[in-house]
Amino acid sequence: MDEQQSVDDPYKGFAELFKKMAAESGRQPSAVIGKIVSPPPELKVSVNGMVLDKKYFWVDEYWVQGHTRTHSGHIVSETQPKAGGGGYAEFASHTHEIHNDYTDTETLTDTWAVGDHVFLIPILGDDKKTAEQFFIWGKAVRLDGNYG
């Protein structure tokens, strides 16, 4: 800006300064990748040069070892045709209908290991600017294997 422009619009510099300040103050923490230092139950994650412990994290219950899920439903199907022997009618090729209720309990054993990378989503504090905790979305992998 030359001296003449400065005289013509004395507020232009202030406007640019305020614009820059507003842009910086409006920034919020964004998602980051962390690295597991200690697996659950004493979870520790290295992120941005700091090691945070479990009090800073929320996780999906799927990742809590020993979590159980129960599945139930009804199966309707039919067996494959099967022939008997001897040429008798009662042994001719036949199938059987299947109508069964089922309940299955699954105990999950997935967890994170030291060195795994995890996707961290910040949970903002009351000021709506500062990340006070993180939600660990899950294990993150790079398809090219480059974790830099």
Q: How far is CA 74 from CA 77, 78, 95, 99, 100, in A?
A: 10, 13, 19, 7, 6
Residue 102 sits in the same domain as residue 45: no
Total domains present in the chain: 2
What's the rounded mean pLDDT across residues 20-49? 82
For residue 146, is it within any domain? Answer: no
Percent of the chain with pLDDT over 70: 78
Residue 7 sits in the same domain as residue 50: yes
Provide the domain limits for residue 43: 3-66+110-140
Residue 18 sits in the same domain as residue 43: yes
Residue 36 sits in the same domain as residue 57: yes
Residue 81 sits in the same domain as residue 57: no
pLDDT in tens, 81-106: 877 666 677 777 888 888 888 888 88
Q: What is the CATH number of the domain that holds 11?
A: 2.40.50.140
pLDDT confidence bin for 53, thresholds 50/70/90: very high
Count CB-CB contacts under 10 A for residue 75. Answer: 9
- pLDDT surpassing 90 at residue 111: no
Rg of the Cα trace of the chain?
30
Residue 49 sits in the same domain as residue 114: yes
